[in-house]
């Protein structure tokens, strides 16, 4: 297994704050935007490696960007 980088988990907050609320709202907006974009076709996918999965995701994203560019060009 290959590990690249590391992530530091943010601490759990005992009290709500405006900053945490804004961060949560931004996260929710990004997730909703990705769901609406529909760049990954529905279905169950099985991959032999993480690299194969990454390549498939990248290919789907490129097709979605190209489709969006064509839609914008043609009105």
pLDDT digits (tens, 9 = 90+) for 17-45: 888 889 888 888 876 776 666 677 888 99
Residue 59 has pLDDT above 70, yes or no: yes
Asked if 68 contacts 46 with a C-beta cutoff of 8 angstroms, the reply is no
Nearest to 45 by CA among 27, 31, 59: 59
pLDDT value at position 53? 93
pLDDT value at position 54? 92
Residue 30 to residue 13: CA distance in whole angstroms: 22
pLDDT value at position 35? 64
Question: pTM for the complete prediction?
Answer: 0.50
3-state secondary structure of 49: coil
Asked if 49 contacts 41 with a C-beta cutoff of 8 angstroms, the reply is no
């Amino acid at each position: 297994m290959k590990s690249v980088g590391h992530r530091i988990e943010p601490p759990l907050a005992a009290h709500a704050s405006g900053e945490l609320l804004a961060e949560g709202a931004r996260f929710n907006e990004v997730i909703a935007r990705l769901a609406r974009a529909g760049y990954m076709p529905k279905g169950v996918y099985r991959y032999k490696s993480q690299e194969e999965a990454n390549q498939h995701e990248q290919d789907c994203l490129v097709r979605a960007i190209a489709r969006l560019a064509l839609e914008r060009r043609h009105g």
